[in-house]
Structure 1
Amino acid sequence: MTTLLDAVREGRMDDIRPLLAPLDRGGRKAALEELKALRKEARGWRWGERTRVRKAILVAGAGCHTGAAGCATWLGARDMRDWVHSPYPWVLEVLGDREPDWLADVARRLAARAVESDAEYRLVEELARRAGCPLPVSDGMVRTWAERVNSSRWQGGAEKPLIDVLRADTRLDVLVPHLLTMPELPPVVAWVDSHSPAGSWPAALTALVAEGLLDRAALLDSCAARLLRGGKPTDLRFCLLVVRRLGPTSGEEAARVADWMAMAADGPSPVAGHAQEVLARLDAQGALSVRQLAEVSGAVLFRTEKKLVRAQLIHLGKVLRRDPSAAEELLPVIADAFGHPDTDAQERALKLAARALPAVSPEVREEAARMASLLAPVHREAARAVFGELLEEAPGVAAYEEILPPPPAPRPLGPPAASVAELTEEVTAALLRSDQEDVTAFERALDGLVRHARTGREELVAALESALAGQWWAKIPRDDADRRMLRGRDGLHLVVASLLGRISRRAVHDGQTRGTATGTCSHAALDAIVHARLWEAAAGIRTGRLPYLLATPTWHTGAIDASELVERLSGYQALDVRAGAVDFAQALLRVRRTGEEEAAERAAALGTAEGDRLAAWLRADEPVATVLPRQVEAEVPVARDWLRQPVTTVRRVLLSTDGNRLVQQKFPRSFHWLGSPHAPLNDRCHHWVVESPHWTAILPEDGETLAAWLLPTVASGVEEQRGTTWLLPALAETGGPAAGAVHLALAYGLGARDAEDRLAAVDALLVLAARDRLDAGLLGGELATLLQRESVKPNRLADAARTAAGTGAYGTVLSFLVPVLPALLARERAPRGLSELLAVAAECAERSGPPRTGPVPGLAETAARGGTTQLVRQAIRLETACRVGTG
C-alpha cells in the first residue's frame, strides 16, 4: 500500500494498476482511506501539482472502490475534474477486472450525475460497451452528445451535413426521444440559422422521419407535449419548426384537439397562433364542435394580443355566415369581448353581435345587452343601435376617484439584536447575501457587531468562529486573506474577519489609507464611501471602543431621525468616545434636515464639535450638491457588443451639479467627490453593470442630487443596457425636493428599451404620485423633449403609460400625456406609436374625465383628416372624450 501511495503522490499512473492487483478487499479499503486524506491535503497545493496528483488519486480511488455507488460518486466528484488531459483511459484499465453488471451500474450512476464533457461521455459510453448494456441516457449525456454531433460536422476541414452525421449514429432512437423531454434544449440544437434553415436540427430530424430512422408519431407527440408545457422561446420555436415540417395529417391534428385548444388558450403568442390556425382548419373540416369552438374562443378573446383576438373574431364571423344556428352558443362568447381593452376588438365584436342577434333566444339577447355596458364610451351609440331598448340606460356616473397605492411608510430598522445568538444569526444571514442587497440587514448586522464587540466580545468571537468556520477567509493563510480583502469588495466579511483576527492590523491600516480614494465617477465614489465605512468599522471593532455607530439608519430608506442622532452624540459625549470621521460624515448625509430647528438647538447645546457641526448642517438645510437647472446635451458612445466597443453615438439630455465647499473642507477625503462640481460624462466611468442598493441609502435626503449623478446610467436604458432603472422606486422614496433630475430620470425610465425597466419606472411614478411629489407638467415636458430628440420612442412610452393606467391611475397618466401629444401631432409624418399613445390617453380621458388643461392642440386637425387609420380613429376617440367627458 505504501508503494501505491508513493506512485500516486508522484503521479505515476501507469504503475497504479499493477500495484492494485495484489491488494485484497481489506487492503483496498485501507488504501482508499489514505487516498481520501491525500485528496483533502492536495486542495491546498499549487494548481499544477494538485492537478497531476489528483489524476492519480482519481484512478487509484476508482480501483480501490468495491461498490458501484461509491465508485460512481468518486469519479463524478466536482473537485476531481480540473484537468486538461483526461485520466479516464487509466480508470478503464483499473476497472478492467470488474463484472459486467457492476460496470453497467457504474455507467448508469455516472450518466445520472452531471456529464459535462466529451471525456465523461466517452467514459460512460465505454463502460456501457464493456458491460454489454444499452447506453444510459440523461440530460447531461444528451447535451454532450449534441455538442459531439455539432463538433463532428467540422472534422476533416469541410463541413458535413448534419443529417449525414445523425444518420450514422446508431443510438438515435434512444437519444432523440430524451432530447425532447429535457427542461431546456441544448443551445446547439435549439439554435436555427435563418440563412440556412435546411441545415438545422428540425430539418434533419424530420428528414430522418421520412427515411424511417425516427418514429414519426413519437416525435410529433414529444413536440406537441413540449409546446403544451411551454419553455424558452428558442425551444418552442424548435418544436414549431419540427411540427410544421412534419406536416401533420388531418387525422393527426384531430387526435390532438385538446392540446391545440390548451395551446391557443394559454400558450405564448407564436404557439397560440399556430394552434389557432390548426383549430380553424379542423373547424372548416367539421372536426370541431360548436361547443369546443365556443370554449376555445372564450379563452382566446380573453388574451391581450390584438392579432390573436382579431383572427378569432374573423373566424367566428365566418362560422356565423356558414352556420347561423351556431349563434346561440357563440354570442355569449362574442359578448365577453365587449370588455376587451382594445377598442377595435370591441367594435368588431359588436358588429358580430349585431349579425348573431336575430338568431338567438331572448335570454341570450338580454345577457349580451347587459354585457354591452362594458363597451368603451366611443361605442355606446353603436350599441344602442344594435340592442335598442334592451340596452339598459347607464346609471348616473359616479364621481371619478383616482386609485393610487398608499404612500410607502418608512419602516424602522428596529432595536438592535439583544443577544449574541440573535446577532450571530443576523450576521450569518447577511454574509450569505454576497452582494448585500438588503440594506436593512447589512446595517443591523454592522451596528450589532460594533455593539457586542464592546459588551460581550469573548462570547461573540466564540459564536462567530463556530458559525463561520466554513467562510473562505477562515480556511486560508492570513497573508492570503489580507491580499484579497485589500483587493476585493468583501462587505461585512471584512469587519467579521477583523474581529476574529483573520486579517492583520497592517491590512486594516492599509485598507483605511486606501479607503480615502474618492473614485472617478459617481458609482466609484458612492462605493468608496461604503468601503471607507467598512474599513473604519474593521479598525474600531478590534479595539471595542465604540458603543454603537452614529450612521445606522432609523428607517429602511437610510434616513436618520435628527433627534435620534442628537441622542447618539450625547451618548458618545457621556462615554467620552470620539466619533469616527467616516461614520459621522455618513450620519450627516443621512439625517433628516427639513424643519429640525429643535434638534439643531439640542445639538448645539451639547458643546461638542460634532454637535456644532450637526446644528449647522440642520440649519443650513442645503443639498449635498445643487443640481444646475440648465440641461446639457451630450454625445454618448453606445456599445452594442459584448466587448463593449463603442460603435456609434447618441445625443442625450443630462444635468450638471455644482460643488459644495463644506463637504470638500470638513468631510473625509472619501466624500470629496460628492462636493466637487460635475458635468455629464466628464468623469471617467468604466462600469458596465452598475447597481447597488447602498447608493440611495448613502444620500436618502438628496434624491435630486443622486438622480443627476446617476442620470447617464438610467438614460443608457433607452438604447442598449438593461437593468438601469432599478433605483427609480427607491429614488421616489428619498427626501428632499423631486425636481428636474428626478423627473428627467423618470422620463428616461418610462421610455426604457426593456419592459422590466419600464415596469420599475411605473412603480416609481406611482410612488411619486402617492406621495404628492409628482409634477405632471414637468414630467410631460421632459418626455416631450426626449421624444423630440428621439431618445424615447412613443410605443415604449405608450406601453409604460398603459401599465400605469391599468392600476387605476388614469388621471395621473392623462396629466403627463397631454403635454406630450401636441408636438407629436404637429409632425408632418406621424411617428410610430402615436396611435398607441392616443389610445391610452383616450381611455384615461373616458374614465377620469377630460384634461383640465383644455383641448389638446392639434388633436382636432388629426381627427378631421378622415380615413380609418388607427391614428385617426384614436384621435377621434380622444377628441370625443375630451369634449363630452365620460359621456
Structure 2
Amino acid sequence: MTGLAVAVGEGRSHDVPGLLATMTGEERKAALPVLKEIRAEVRGWDWGRWRERGAVQDALLVAGAGCLSGAAAAAAWIGARDLRSFSAVSPRVIAGVLKDRDPAWLADVAHRLAARASTAQEDAPLIKELVALSGCETPTTDEYVHGWALTVTPARVGPEAVREDRHTRVLVPRMFEATPLPAALTMYDDPDNPLHWPSALARLAAEGVLERAALVEGCVRRLLRGGRPGEMRAVLQVLRGLGLTPAEESAHVADWAGMSADGLSTVAAHAQEVLGRVAERGELSTRALAEASAGVLFRTEKKLVRAQLSLLGKELRRDPAAAPELLPVIAEAFGHEDTGVQDRALKLVARYVPRVDAGLREELAASAALLGPVHRARAEAVFGVLADGAGGAAYEEILPPVPVPRRLEAAPESAAEVVEQLLVLVRGEEDVVAFERVLDGLVRVAHRERDTPAEALRAATAGQWWSDWTPRTADERFSQHTHGLEVVAATLVGRLSAGMLDRARSRTVRPGLCAHTGLAHTVSSRLWEVSYFLLTRPLPFLLATPTWHTGALDAGVLVERLREYGRLGAAPAAVDFAQALLRVSRSGDEAAAKAAAELGTREGDRLAAWLSEPEGVLPALRTAGADGADATCAGAAATPAASWAASAAGPGLGLGRRIAETRQGPSFQWEFPRPLQWLGHPQEVPLRGCYHWEGGDRYWTAVLPQDREALAMWLLPGVMAAAEHDARGNAWSLPALAEAEGVPGPYLHGALAAGLGARFGEDRLSAVDALLVLAARGQLDAEPAGRAIAALVRRGTVKLNRLADSARTAAATGAYGTVWSLLAAALPALLATTPAPRALGEILGVAADCVERCGAGAALALAGAEGLTDLAGRRGSSQLAVQASRLLAALRQGSEHSTPETAKTSR
C-alpha cells in the first residue's frame, strides 16, 4: 500500500498496474483513504503545477479503478472530471487492471460509463474494451454511439475492421436516432474522403454487412424528424448512396409528403423529387398529391413552391378530371408573398376552372381576393367581379404600439433570494434589468446583514471555476476582468482583497483605446467599486439603479435617493453617482433641479447643474467627412441627409477617425471619477481588430441610455460586421437603441441600414424590430436610412437578397408605407448602379407590393424613375424586368388610397 501511495503521489502511472497486481483485496481496500486524500490535495493545486497535477491525476485514475470493489463506485471514479488530465490514460491500461474482475461486474461498469452523459463519448474506447472483456450486450446510449462512431472511423481502423466490429450492426441504426446526430457522420462532405461515413455505410449495406431496410428506415425517420442542416445533408448522402428502388420510394409516400411540407429546404427538395418520380409512375393518388401540396404551397421558398405548382400542372395535364380536387389546393397559393407564384397559380386555375362546378368556382373566386392588386384585373376576367379584399378598403398603416417604459421591480430583499438570482445570472445569459436588481439587492442585504449573503454564497459557489484559486491568483485574474457579477460573488466569499479592488476601481482608460474599452471599463469599474465597499463600508443602496428597463433613471428618484443618503450620513460612491448622472433623464425637469439644489450637498449641486444643462455634457459627435471637412453628427436635424451615406462610400467608412472635444471641456474630466473620464477624450471607433465586436456586451446600452447616437456610433462597426463579415449576434443593440432616448441621428440610421442586411436571420429580425419601433415613435428618418442602405449595397457590404427578406418581414406586419418610404430613398442610387446589383428584382418586387397596397402618395413618389423605366423596357421575362414593370405600373397608377401616415410624414 505504501508503494502504491508513493507511486501515485509521484505521478508514476506506469508503475501502478504492477503494484496493484501484487496487492490483495484487503490491501487495495486499505489504500482507498490514502488515494482520496491525495485526490483532495490535488484539487487545491493552482495551475502553476499543471504538469505535476496531470501526472498525479493519471496515476490516481488507474489506482482508484483497481482498488474500488463496487461497480457504481468504480464507474464514478473512472468518469470523474477532476481526474481527467491533458494526457489521457490509455483505455487498455485501465482495462488491464480490471480484467480479472467478474464479467457481470465488468458489464455493469461498462453500462454505467455509457450512461454518463458528460464522459461517455470520451470513454468510448474503454467501454468497448470492457464490453469485449465481459461479453455483454453493446450499450446503445446516445453518448456512447457518438464516441464509438468517432473511434471506429473507416480510415482509422480500416474497412475490414469496421465490417468485423461486433458493434457495427447494433450501433449504426442507433446513429440515426441519436440526438444530435453523431459528429462522425457530419464531419466530412467529400465522398472520396476515407473518413466519409455516409459513403462507408452505403458500401457496407451493398456488401450485406448492414441491413439495407434498417438503414433506409433510419434515414427516412431522421429526415422526417428534422435537425441541423449539416445533419440533414449527411443523412441525405446516405440515402442517395443507397439508391432507393421504386418500391422503396412508393412505400414512404406519407413520409415524403411530411418532409416536403416541414423539412429543411434541402430535405423538402429531395422529397419533392421523389414524389415527382412516384407521380410519373402513376403510383401517387390525387388525394395524396393534394395533401402533400397543401403543406408545400405554404412555404416561403419560392423554388419549392414553383416546383410544386409544376408538379400539379403535370398531374392536371395527365388527368384533367383531378381538377375539382387539386384546384382548391392551388388556390391556396393566391396568398403567397411572391407575385410570380401568384401568377403561376392563377394561370393554372384559369386553365382548368371550366371543369369545376359552380359551387367550387365560387369558392375559388373567394380565394382570388387574396391576390395582389397586380393580378386583380386578370382574376376578375376569370371569375367576374371579386368580393372586396384588402385592396378594396382604404389603406391604414399598422405599426406596433409605442413601447412603454417598464419600471424595474424592487430589489430582492432576502439573502436567499439575492443569492439564488445571482447564481442564475452567473450561469446564464446577460440581462440588464436582472443584473441591476441583483446588484442593488446584494448591496442592500450586505448593508443590513453583513455576513448573511457570504454564508449563503460559500456553499453555492464551491464548484465555480475560480473556487480553487489562491488569493494571489484570484486577485490577478479579477483585477483584469470582473467576469460580470462573479467578482461580487468572489468578494463576498473572501477570495479577493480590498487593496486590489481599490486599485482596480480607480483605474482610468488608457487614451487611444477604442470606445468599447471605455464602455466595458465603466461597467467593470462600478462592479469593482461595489465589491470594494462590500469589504470596507457597505453602501445602503445604489444610486445608479435604473428606474426603467432601458437603463434610464428618473431625476426625482435620484433626488430622493440622495436625500436618504444624507439622512443616513452615507457618502455616495464616486462611480455609482457618476453612472447615475449619465442615466438620469435630462428633460428640463426644473422641479427636480430645484429639489437637488436644496439638498445642500456636493452631489445635489452637481445634479442640479447637470439637469440645468440644456444640451447635456457628453462629447459632440464630430467626424471628418469624405472631403476632410468636419460634419456634425450630434442630431439628424443638423446633419445633411447624405452625411452618413457620403462617409460610407469613402474608404473605411470614415469611422476610424477621432471624435472631437467635449462640450463642457476640462470640467467634465475634473468632476467625473477617473474611470469615466474617457468620455471627455476623443475615442477611436476602429473598423478592424477590435476584440469587443464579437456579440458586444449587453450592459453597454445602459451606460448611456440618454445618448443613443453616441452608442450607435460606437456600436456601428459591430453591426456592420454582421452584414459584411457574417458575424453573428452583433445586431443585438438595435432594439435597445430604438427604445433609448436622445435624438436619433445618422449613426443610428446607418446601424439600422447595416442590420437590415445582416447575414443571419436573428440579426435581421433585431433590425426589423428597431425599424418598426422607430417608426411607431415617429423617429424614423427614411431619407438618410435609405441612402445609407444604397451606399452599403454599392460598396458590397449589404446583399440585396438579405435586405429583401428584412423588407418583406417588416411589410408583412402591415407597415407597407414605412417600408416603401425606406426603399423609395434607396432605389434612385440602386437603379443608377451599372451593372444592376444582384437581386435588385427582389427589392423591386417588395417595393411594388408596398406601393400596390398603400399607394405611392405624392410625398413618397420615386425620384429618378427613368432608371426604372429603362429596366421595365428590357426584353424578356427576367425577374428584374417583370418587377420593374410592376413597380412602374403601380407608381403610375397613382394613389387610390389615403396617403399612409409613415414615420416621416407623421412628425
Task: Measure the CA separation in 2 of the matches of 1:418 and 1:122.
Answer: 52
Task: Measure the CA separation in 2 of the matches of 1:835 and 1:119.
Answer: 51
Do residues 512 (structure 1) and 505 (structure 2) align? yes
Kindly tell me: are residues 871 and 826 of structure 1, through their superposed partners in 2, closer, same or farther at Cα, counting changes over 3 Å? same
CA contact (8 A) 1:516 1:532 kept: no
Q: Which moved more, 1:414-423 or 1:226-235?
A: 414-423
* Offset, 1:17: 5.8
Aligned to 1:862: 871
Aligned to 2:366: 370
Q: Decide which of 176, 197, 219 is 1:180's aligned counterpart.
A: 176
Kindly tell me: are residues 55 and 236 of structure 1, through their superposed partners in 2, closer, same or farther at Cα, counting changes over 3 Å? same
Q: Decide which of 404, 412, 424 is 2:407's aligned counterpart.
A: 412
Q: Deviations over 1:482-535 (max 9, x none)?
A: 222223323333234434543223222332343565671111111111122122
Q: Deviations over 1:462-483 (max 9, x none)?
A: 4444554554555544333222
Q: Decide which of 255, 260, 269 is 1:259's aligned counterpart.
A: 255
Q: Please, what is the CA RMSD of the aligned residues?
A: 3.0
Question: Where do 5+ consecutive residues of structure 2 fail to align?
Answer: 629-649, 898-907
Aligned to 2:240: 244
Q: Which aligned pairs between 1:53-68 and structure 2 lie closer than 5 A? A: 53-68=56-71
* Offset, 1:262: 0.9
Task: Measure the CA separation in 2 of the matches of 1:744 and 1:851.
Answer: 25
Question: Where do 5+ consecutive residues of structure 1 fail to align?
Answer: 156-161, 635-648
Q: Which aligned pairs between 1:26-175 and structure 2 lie closer than 5 A? A: 28-45=28-45, 46-82=49-85, 84=87, 86=89, 88-113=91-116, 120-150=123-153, 152-153=155-156, 163=159, 166-167=162-163, 169=165, 171-175=167-171
Q: Decide which of 341, 348, 354 is 2:344's aligned counterpart.
A: 348
Kindly tell me: are residues 35 and 219 of structure 1, through their superposed partners in 2, closer, same or farther at Cα, counting changes over 3 Å? same
Q: Secondary structure at the match of 1:221?
A: helix
Do residues 209 (structure 1) and 214 (structure 2) align? no
* Offset, 1:310: 0.8
Task: Measure the CA separation in 1 of the matches of 2:322 and 2:172.
Answer: 44
Kindly tell me: are residues 49 and 397 of structure 1, through their superposed partners in 2, closer, same or farther at Cα, counting changes over 3 Å? same
Q: Secondary structure at the match of 1:819?
A: helix
Do residues 734 (structure 1) and 727 (structure 2) align? no
Task: Measure the CA separation in 1 of the matches of 2:154 and 2:82.
Answer: 27
CA contact (8 A) 1:410 1:557 kept: yes
Kindly tell me: are residues 92 and 754 of structure 1, through their superposed partners in 2, closer, same or farther at Cα, counting changes over 3 Å? closer
Task: Measure the CA separation in 2 of the matches of 1:207 and 1:16.
Answer: 42
Q: Decide which of 708, 712, 720 is 1:715's aligned counterpart.
A: 720
Do residues 397 (structure 1) and 400 (structure 2) align? no
Aligned to 2:558: 565
Aligned to 1:671: 676
Q: Deviations over 1:588-618 (max 9, x none)?
A: 1111102222222222233332222222222
* Offset, 1:684: 7.5
Do residues 762 (structure 1) and 771 (structure 2) align? no
Q: Deviations over 1:817-868 (max 9, x none)?
A: 1111122223343211211111111111122222442542233443344532
CA contact (8 A) 1:260 1:279 kept: yes
Q: Secondary structure at the match of 1:66?
A: coil
Aligned to 1:779: 785
Kindly tell me: are residues 569 and 18 of structure 1, through their superposed partners in 2, closer, same or farther at Cα, counting changes over 3 Å? closer
Do residues 750 (structure 1) and 744 (structure 2) align? no
Q: Secondary structure at the match of 2:697?
A: coil
CA contact (8 A) 1:450 1:544 kept: no
Task: Measure the CA separation in 2 of the matches of 1:683 and 1:821.
Answer: 30
Q: Deviations over 1:370-426 (max 9, x none)?
A: 11111111111111111136x446699333222222222111223333344443444
Aligned to 2:638: none
2:322 maps to amino acid: A
2:434 maps to amino acid: A
Q: Decide which of 435, 451, 464 is 1:442's aligned counterpart.
A: 435
* Offset, 1:346: 1.0
Task: Measure the CA separation in 2 of the matches of 1:633 and 1:111.
Answer: 67
Aligned to 1:658: 660
CA contact (8 A) 1:335 1:350 kept: yes
Do residues 706 (structure 1) and 711 (structure 2) align? yes
Task: Measure the CA separation in 2 of the matches of 1:465 and 1:101.
Answer: 42
Task: Measure the CA separation in 2 of the matches of 1:126 and 1:614.
Answer: 73
Task: Measure the CA separation in 1 of the matches of 2:676 and 2:626.
Answer: 25
Identity of aligned residues (%): 51
Kindly tell me: are residues 359 and 823 of structure 1, through their superposed partners in 2, closer, same or farther at Cα, counting changes over 3 Å? same
Aligned to 1:628: 622
Q: Deviations over 1:258-284 (max 9, x none)?
A: 111111111111111111111111112
* Offset, 1:84: 1.7
Q: Which moved more, 1:350-359 or 1:15-24?
A: 15-24
2:593 maps to amino acid: A
Kindly tell me: are residues 460 and 143 of structure 1, through their superposed partners in 2, closer, same or farther at Cα, counting changes over 3 Å? closer
* Offset, 1:187: 3.5
Aligned positions, number = 862
CA contact (8 A) 1:20 1:63 kept: no
Q: Secondary structure at the match of 2:653?
A: strand
Q: Which moved more, 1:413-422 or 1:743-752?
A: 413-422
Q: Secondary structure at the match of 2:622?
A: strand
Q: Which moved more, 1:55-64 or 1:358-367?
A: 55-64
2:443 maps to amino acid: V
* Offset, 1:335: 1.3
CA contact (8 A) 2:422 2:438 kept: yes
* Offset, 1:344: 1.0
Aligned to 2:231: 235
* Offset, 1:737: 0.4
Q: Secondary structure at the match of 1:374?
A: coil
Q: Which moved more, 1:592-601 or 1:77-86?
A: 77-86
Aligned to 1:284: 280
1:752 maps to amino acid: A
Q: What's the TM-score once normalised by structure 2's chain length?
A: 0.88
1:402 maps to amino acid: E
2:546 maps to amino acid: P
Q: Deviations over 1:608-638 (max 9, x none)?
A: 322222222222233412223764599xxxx
* Offset, 1:323: 1.0
2:660 maps to amino acid: D
Kindly tell me: are residues 432 and 278 of structure 1, through their superposed partners in 2, closer, same or farther at Cα, counting changes over 3 Å? closer
Task: Measure the CA separation in 1 of the matches of 2:452 and 2:143.
Answer: 48
Q: Deviations over 1:320-351 (max 9, x none)?
A: 11111111111111111111111111111111
CA contact (8 A) 1:453 1:544 kept: no
* Offset, 1:151: 8.2
2:296 maps to amino acid: V
Q: Which moved more, 1:450-459 or 1:842-851?
A: 450-459
The ranges of structure 1 where at least 4 consecutive aligned residues each deviate by more than 6 angstroms after the TM superposition are: 115-119
Kindly tell me: are residues 91 and 785 of structure 1, through their superposed partners in 2, closer, same or farther at Cα, counting changes over 3 Å? closer
Higher relative contact order (CA 8 A, sep 6+): 2
